[in-house]
Amino acid sequence: MGDGWETSRRRDDGNDWIVAQLAARGRITHATIDTSYFIGNSPGSARLQGIDATGGGLDAPDAWFDLLPRTRLQRDTPHRFRVTTTQPVTHIRLDIHPDGGLARLRLFGSPTSDGLGALGLRWFDLLPPDQASAVLTAECGAPADWARDFAAARPFSDESGLHKALEGADPLTASRVRGLLGVNPA
């Protein structure tokens, strides 16, 4: 999808849409819907919705809320919008009406504290063992033997798993590890 997203021409009253999962649970403050380079085939309007699916699925239609109501779009233009909804989201849904092409959708915001912690844990769990040990030693001042053993205890599925693994650690090292990963104290 290097050149954007272009839909087939519709012959009915429906519309095309996509659902995307955000990297972390967060609050969206700005959105850019870019129709650049789509001169004769850009959609006439778009709608952006969000949902916080941390406790459930995406199938509940009443759980979706507007981040941007259905708004007219111009062709070959980056449209920038301020999002005033402060509700956290994990997924977005972009509807285009009736059909056409978009160059990019960009979302700007910040993760919630639990979203930041989940993102930090996911990053740490994906590091190779030697690199995880090196990060713990360099950034947290952890002893090399402890860092190697702690890295071998991964993956931590959630914050409670991390807190349990840090129970016997030096309090200063444990605090630095939590800070590095963006996880709140137990």
* CA 31 – CA 50 distance, rounded (Å): 12
Give residue limits of the domains in the chain.
5-110, 114-181
**pLDDT above 90 as % of the chain:** 80
Query: Hey, which residues does 20 pair with through a beta bridge?
Result: 92
For the segment 70-85, the average pLDDT, to the nearest whole number, is 97
Model pLDDT, residue 3: 76
In this prediction the pTM is: 0.87
Structure tokens given for 179 = 């800070």
Q: Which architecture does CATH list for 5-110?
A: Sandwich (2.60)
**Phi, psi values for residue 153, rounded to 5°:** -80, -5
For the segment 95-109, the average pLDDT, to the nearest whole number, is 94
For the segment 39-53, the average pLDDT, to the nearest whole number, is 95
> What residues contact 128, with CB distance under 8 A and at least 6 apart?
none
- pLDDT at residue 47 greater than cutoff 60: yes
